[in-house]
Amino acid sequence: MSEEIRHHATRVRRRRRHKSSVTNINIFAMTPSTEAAAQPAAPAPVPGPAPVPPPEHEDEGLFGERLVSPEWLERRAKRLEKQEQEIKHRALEIERREAELDEREARFEADMYLREDEIEAREENLRELEARLGQKESDLGSFVARVQGGLLADAG
């Protein structure tokens, strides 16, 4: 009987795959497939040359599920951290540009108000000059009329 158990144990050992150490635990990403359960079993396809799975997914073919290794998780965490840093950098850059844009807009607005004030002052100055010019024209006209009136009186 012990010989039968020993023979059975050797057979079992041959079928089992080597397990990794406890420190290298793989996590199963289990996704239930509703389509696979709903479809009837199809006839087995004619076997051709088996495609070689990529190194990341080599356990997927053995167990029918994708394994997530700690190395993959570390790479993903590093990639996500890098993307977060890039997003933070871009957000800071956008905030800086928005602040610059607000500052430029405020400068342009202040310049516009100053120019409007300057234009209004010039317009007022021009109105005053036009009024003085009009007064001088009327004074000149009355002077010319007096002179012509005096010359006519002297000639007559």
Q: What is the pLDDT of residues 73-103, one digit of tens each?
A: 999 999 999 999 999 999 999 999 999 999 9
pLDDT at position 49, please? Answer: 57
pLDDT at position 156, please? Answer: 63
- Tell how far CA 131 is from the center of its chain: 60
**Residue in 93, 71, 64, 62 with CA at minimum distance from that of residue 26:** 71
Q: Is the pLDDT of residue 39 over 80?
A: no
Span 47-55, average pLDDT: 55
Q: Greater confidence, 6 or 44?
A: 6
Q: Which residues of 133-144 are buried (b: 16+ CB within 10 A; e: fewer)?
A: eeeeeeeeeeee
pLDDT at position 32, please? Answer: 53
